[in-house]
């Protein structure tokens, strides 16, 4: 259903903001919110809202709003909870504080009805639920409410599932899907068949989707006319608007009057459709039956406001799953547990999909569909500390509110786990509005998002198409334009897709029969051009730390004394010694303990937990709960108990920013274990592309958390300005990838001996490109060399701008060199 009954009353201009980004790449941070000014730093009672800076003569702030709507609206929060802007001759107050928006929609709803922008839609929508106010709105809502009662949801959910299954069944392996277009058609069909028990012709469906943009553009332009009479002039935009209204009415007439039953009468009484509910009702104000105009008005509202927002959210959700395969894996695992394949979902089953619901909530938060909505103060009102004169137009942006870093920490990161502890509160999360105009179809919308996501992911694995990511375009909604995916069957061998082009290069220097994980005549990887900085610690200190770590692991119950000799043969402390040459004392002990704990955890997935998602989650979920701060008292599990201690030691005296980043990246690392188990359980490892394998390996090898510990060893955070650099994000990704690929070269035979499907880039290259082992190894070595060369250039670039951060930049290089020095000699791999 609709994410707010005012969905079509948004307005802005296309402004592409979001660009392609590698999974896990942070987006730019939203501006911090400042408190409004006063005589002493806070606004006095009944203050006049401040005027935003940057108004241009004649245009005011219109140019900034049109150029970058979300960026401009998001920037206003630093000036106050309510801020005045000028759009040509008009002054509009923008409400930037979530609590004040909530008050506007609830306490002041009667005094602040919908604004002038919404009034232009009366031509299309009439005086139904979307446009009505006061008692008329309450009466109409009571009439429509039975159509969205809890007793109807089971039937709706079954239809949603059937519609999605039918549409997904028409797709073909290898097909490149225009996601936004397909989700638009899917959402329209769900509304048509669920609420109207009807089927639209293909021509009517296409006509509907073509008409919506003209309807919205006309609404926007007409709302800006200096006189309403201009809407009647024969201007092209007016003609297209009028034609769009006629098309929408024809489509709605087909659904309302040309019903085709879903089939078996057992599917539901046709009397339960929305038109039947409306025609059986009486107008509470007059006591007379509703007119056909009333029926059409409500029907067109459901069509217009109930398709675009849901389809846009589904598109963004698929885009985020492409960027976060560990999230997709957790969703699939939850579906396996609570909604087995072939099961028709019910409202009760959907209620058990708590993580899937959190994913949908986070997609709605990060990509809140409403660019902005408006109200008009009919009488003077006080909104918080601000005085709002009668006649003032009030504007608010749900997208900006949901990206407020004060209410939603790290707002531009996709983090479903933030909703598993209740989210940020109802006043900070308003996708369905609030108060008397809150969306009547909220439960319908959540069910639709969950059912459609489950049905699509069960059947298909979307694979990113290079050069076709989603980009953010602000229009009626904050749309996802341009997203295309290639479809791979979720469980069929035909779904294998190659995500990296090219052939494996030959390696004439290496005999084909030479072991690739124990090179002799040629080093597997050339030494770095930059000389390695020698350790600053005495050898005896590393030996003492090694002995202390062995006692710690046994005392913690992670190992028995009998297991200790084999474990010590891995020489893990030497890896720390190479990678962190300046770590001393407690920092050295912490690094060795963390690496040892992670290695023991990793080895536990060589057994059945590596193939059984439920067992993997049973191990990982308590560890993630420690990061979230939601873990219960420490129990008997040695891994969890040791992790409690290690997390405390890592974060003791750490800054909030470091702690949040470390928690986020440890969580991404830990989530890869269940993700890999899901792939093994489903037999999908052989069909993984190179990019997807690298995403899992990059995070699963815990390189990002160990880069964070560079700051712990240094005793201070790297400058915030450095962390804000996109170049640093590239350097960190290169560091993680280079170390991971080096590990893959040397761990290849060990992983093959384990018997379980291995996530190894050498094996992936062999499968995808049909080349020999030697050539696949050569391709990986070449990629490591390329990453090292590019990393050196990135470090030089960053060093010019941040010379004080040389210790951090050197640390990323030493980490890769340390991994190479250790993997080439450790008995873990030889």
> pTM of the full predicted structure?
0.57
CA 152 distance to own-chain centroid: 30
Given a cut of 80, whether residue 46 has pLDDT beyond it is no
- Among 27-31, 150-154, 394-398, 700-704, name the one with the lowest average pLDDT: 27-31
Given a cut of 50, whether residue 471 has pLDDT beyond it is yes
Q: Report the alpha-carbon distance of residue 396 to residue 105 in Å, rounded.
A: 11
Q: Report the alpha-carbon distance of residue 288 to residue 570 in Å, rounded.
A: 84
Predicted confidence at residue 120, as pLDDT, reads 61
Q: Which residues of 323-341 are buried (b: 16+ CB within 10 A; e: fewer)?
A: bbbbbbbbbbbbbbebbee
The token pair at 100 is 């004040």
Predicted confidence at residue 15, as pLDDT, reads 36
The candidate with the shortest Cα–Cα distance to 404, out of 392, 396, 416, 395, is 396
Element (H, E) at 374: strand 373-376
Query: Which residues, at least 6 apart from 276, have a Cβ–Cβ distance to it below 8 Å?
Result: 270
Mean pLDDT of 171-195: 92
Mean pLDDT of 455-469: 90
Of the ranges 308-317, 538-547, 682-691, the best mean pLDDT one:
308-317
Element (H, E) at 84: strand 82-87
Given a cut of 60, whether residue 4 has pLDDT beyond it is no
- Among 207-211, 368-372, 453-457, 750-754, name the one with the lowest average pLDDT: 750-754
Q: Which residue has the higher pLDDT, 89 or 104?
A: 104
pLDDT class of 258 with cuts at 50, 70, 90: low
Question: DSSP string covering 449-475, please?
Answer: HHHHHHHHHHHEEEEEPTT---EEEES
Q: How many CB atoms are closer than 10 A to CB 516? A: 20
**Mean pLDDT across the chain, nearest whole number?**
80
pLDDT class of 244 with cuts at 50, 70, 90: confident
Predicted confidence at residue 439, as pLDDT, reads 84
The candidate with the shortest Cα–Cα distance to 814, out of 577, 627, 604, is 577
Locate tokens 């989530």: which residue? 671
Predicted confidence at residue 519, as pLDDT, reads 35
> What is the percentage of the chain residues whose pLDDT exceeds 90?
39
Query: Which residues, at least 6 apart from 58, have a Cβ–Cβ distance to it below 8 Å?
Result: 88
Q: Report the alpha-carbon distance of residue 778 to residue 104 in Å, rounded.
A: 63
Cα-Cα end-to-end distance for the chain: 58
Given a cut of 80, whether residue 712 has pLDDT beyond it is yes
Q: Sheet holding 176-178: strands in order across? A: 176-178, 484-489, 460-464
Predicted confidence at residue 682, as pLDDT, reads 80
The candidate with the shortest Cα–Cα distance to 813, out of 533, 588, 589, is 533
Given a cut of 70, whether residue 460 has pLDDT beyond it is yes
Predicted confidence at residue 426, as pLDDT, reads 66
CA torsion, ordered 761, 767, 772, 776, to nearest 10 deg:
-20
Mean pLDDT of 202-208: 82
Predicted confidence at residue 614, as pLDDT, reads 92
Predicted confidence at residue 666, as pLDDT, reads 93
Predicted confidence at residue 44, as pLDDT, reads 52
Mean pLDDT of 404-433: 82
Predicted confidence at residue 495, as pLDDT, reads 32
CA torsion, ordered 161, 164, 169, 173, to nearest 10 deg:
-120
Per-residue pLDDT tens digits for 14-43: 333 333 333 333 333 344 444 444 434 444
Backbone angles phi, psi at 538, to 5 degrees: -70, 150
Within 13 Å of residue 477, how many CA atoms lie on the same side as its CB? Answer: 31
For the chain, what percentages of helix, strand and coil (3-state, to nearest 5) are there?
A: 55, 5, 35
Q: Report the alpha-carbon distance of residue 85 to residue 69 in Å, rounded.
A: 13
Given a cut of 50, whether residue 653 has pLDDT beyond it is yes
Backbone angles phi, psi at 528, to 5 degrees: -65, 145
- Among 32-41, 444-453, 460-469, 501-510, name the one with the lowest average pLDDT: 501-510
Sign of the Cα torsion 65, 70, 74, 80 reads positive
Per-residue pLDDT tens digits for 115-139: 655 666 666 666 667 667 777 778 8
pLDDT class of 342 with cuts at 50, 70, 90: confident
- For the chain, what is the largest distance between any 2 Cα atoms, rounded to a whole number of angstroms? 95
Task: Count the residues in the chain.
Answer: 830
Mean pLDDT of 753-781: 78
Distances (CA, A) of 313 to 5, 310, 586: 16, 5, 48
The token pair at 821 is 């020095």
Predicted confidence at residue 500, as pLDDT, reads 30
Predicted confidence at residue 12, as pLDDT, reads 35
- Among 138-152, 253-267, 645-659, name the one with the lowest average pLDDT: 253-267
Mean pLDDT of 255-280: 62
Within 13 Å of residue 526, how many CA atoms lie on the same side as its CB? Answer: 12
Element (H, E) at 387: strand 386-388
Q: Report the alpha-carbon distance of residue 604 to residue 619 in Å, rounded.
A: 9
Q: Report the alpha-carbon distance of residue 427 to residue 95 in Å, rounded.
A: 13
Helix 690-700 and helix 656-682: axis angle, to 10°? Answer: 130
The token pair at 92 is 């509009």
Per-residue pLDDT tens digits for 382-392: 999 999 999 99
Contacts 24+ apart (CB under 8 A), 63-67: 65/12, 66/12, 66/13, 66/15, 67/15
Bridge-based pairing state of the strands 386-388 and 381-383? antiparallel
Helix 308-323 and helix 354-366: axis angle, to 10°? Answer: 110
Contact (CB, 8 A) for 295 and 279 = yes
Contact (CB, 8 A) for 709 and 594 = yes
Per-residue pLDDT tens digits for 511-555: 333 333 333 223 334 333 333 333 456 778 899 999 999 999 999
Backbone angles phi, psi at 476, to 5 degrees: -60, -45
Q: Report the alpha-carbon distance of residue 588 to residue 9 in Å, rounded.
A: 59
The token pair at 666 is 């440890």
Predicted confidence at residue 776, as pLDDT, reads 85
Given a cut of 70, whether residue 763 has pLDDT beyond it is yes
Q: Which residue has the higher pLDDT, 288 or 130?
A: 288
Q: Is 367 exposed, middle or buried (0-12, 13-18, 19+ CB in 10 A)?
A: buried
Strands of 490-568, DSSP E: none
CA 495 distance to own-chain centroid: 25
């Amino acid at each position: 259903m609709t994410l707010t009954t005012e969905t079509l009353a948004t307005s802005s201009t296309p402004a592409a903001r979001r660009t392609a980004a590698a999974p896990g790449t942070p987006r730019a941070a939203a501006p911090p919110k400042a408190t409004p000014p006063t005589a002493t730093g806070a606004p006095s009672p009944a203050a006049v809202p401040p005027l935003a800076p940057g108004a241009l003569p004649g245009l005011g702030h219109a140019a900034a709003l049109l150029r970058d709507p979300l960026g401009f609206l998001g920037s206003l929060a630093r000036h106050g909870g309510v801020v005045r802007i000028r759009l040509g001759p008009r002054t509009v107050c923008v409400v930037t504080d979530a609590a004040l928006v909530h008050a506007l929609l609830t306490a002041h709803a009667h005094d602040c009805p919908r604004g002038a922008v919404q009034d232009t839609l009366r031509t299309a929508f009439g005086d139904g639920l979307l446009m009505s106010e006061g008692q008329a709105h309450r009466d109409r809502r009571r009439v429509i409410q039975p159509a969205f009662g809890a007793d109807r949801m089971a039937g709706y959910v079954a239809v949603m599932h059937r519609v999605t299954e039918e549409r997904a069944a028409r797709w073909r392996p290898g097909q490149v899907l225009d996601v936004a277009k397909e989700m638009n058609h899917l959402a329209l069909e769900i509304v048509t068949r669920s609420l109207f028990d009807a089927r639209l012709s293909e021509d009517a469906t296409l006509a509907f989707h073509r008409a919506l943009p003209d309807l919205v553009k006309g609404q926007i332009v007409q709302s800006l006319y200096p006189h309403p009479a201009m809407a009647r002039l024969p201007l092209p935009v007016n003609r297209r608007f009028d034609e769009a209204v006629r098309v929408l009415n024809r489509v709605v007439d087909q659904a309302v009057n040309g019903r085709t039953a879903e089939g078996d009468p057992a599917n539901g009484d046709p009397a339960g459709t929305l038109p039947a509910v409306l025609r059986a009702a009486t107008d509470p104000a007059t006591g007379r039956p509703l007119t056909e105009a009333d029926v059409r008005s409500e029907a067109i509202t459901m069509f217009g406001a109930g398709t675009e927002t849901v389809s846009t959210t589904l598109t963004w959700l698929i885009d985020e799953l492409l960027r976060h395969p560990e999230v997709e894996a957790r969703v699939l695992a939850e579906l396996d547990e609570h909604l087995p394949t072939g099961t028709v979902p019910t409202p009760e089953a959907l209620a058990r999909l708590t993580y899937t619901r959190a994913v949908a909530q986070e997609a709605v938060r990060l990509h809140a569909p409403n660019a902005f909505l408006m109200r008009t103060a009919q009488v003077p009102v006080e909104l918080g500390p601000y005085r709002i004169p009668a006649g003032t137009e009030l504007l608010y942006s749900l997208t900006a509110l949901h990206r407020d870093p004060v209410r939603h920490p790290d707002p531009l990161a996709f983090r479903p786990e933030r909703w598993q502890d209740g989210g940020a509160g109802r006043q900070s999360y308003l996708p369905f509005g609030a108060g008397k105009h809150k969306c009547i179809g909220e439960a319908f919308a959540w069910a639709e998002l969950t059912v459609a996501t489950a049905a699509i992911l069960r059947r298909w694995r979307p694979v990113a198409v290079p050069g076709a990511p989603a980009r953010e375009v602000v229009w009626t909604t904050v749309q996802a334009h341009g997203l295309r995916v290639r479809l791979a069957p979720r469980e069929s061998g035909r779904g294998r897709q190659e995500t990296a082009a090219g052939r494996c290069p030959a390696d004439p220097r290496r005999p084909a029969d030479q072991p690739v994980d124990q090179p002799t005549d040629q080093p597997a990887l050339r030494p770095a051009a930059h000389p390695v900085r020698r350790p600053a610690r005495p050898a005896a200190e590393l030996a003492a730390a090694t002995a202390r770590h062995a006692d710690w692991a046994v005392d913690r119950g992670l190992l028995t004394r009998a297991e200790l000799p084999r474990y010590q043969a891995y020489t893990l402390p030497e890896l720390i010694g190479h990678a962190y040459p300046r770590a001393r004392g407690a920092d050295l002990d912490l690094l060795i303990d963390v690496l040892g704990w992670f290695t023991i955890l990793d080895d536990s997935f060589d057994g059945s937990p590596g193939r059984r998602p439920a067992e993997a989650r049973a191990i990982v979920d308590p560890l993630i709960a420690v990061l979230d701060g939601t873990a219960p008292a420490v129990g008997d599990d040695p891994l969890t108990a040791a992790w409690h201690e290690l997390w405390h030691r890592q974060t003791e005296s750490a800054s909030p920013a470091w702690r949040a980043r470390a928690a986020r990246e440890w969580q991404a690392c830990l989530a890869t274990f269940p993700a890999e188990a899901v792939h093994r359980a489903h037999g999908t490892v052989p069909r993984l592309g190179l990019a997807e394998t690298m995403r899992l390996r990059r995070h699963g090898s815990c390189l990002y958390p160990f880069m964070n510990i560079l700051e712990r060893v240094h005793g201070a955070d790297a400058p915030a300005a450095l962390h804000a650099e996109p170049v640093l994000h590239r350097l960190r990704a290169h560091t993680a990838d280079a170390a991971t690929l080096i590990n893959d070269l040397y761990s290849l035979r060990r992983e093959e001996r384990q018997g379980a499907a291995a996530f190894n880039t050498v094996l992936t290259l062999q499968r995808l490109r049909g080349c020999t082992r030697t050539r696949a190894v050569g391709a990986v070595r070449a990629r490591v060399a390329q990453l090292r060369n590019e990393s050196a250039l990135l470090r030089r670039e960053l060093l010019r701008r941040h010379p004080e951060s040389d210790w951090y930049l050197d640390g990323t290089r030493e980490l890769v060199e340390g991994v190479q020095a250790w993997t080439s000699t450790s008995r873990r791999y030889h």
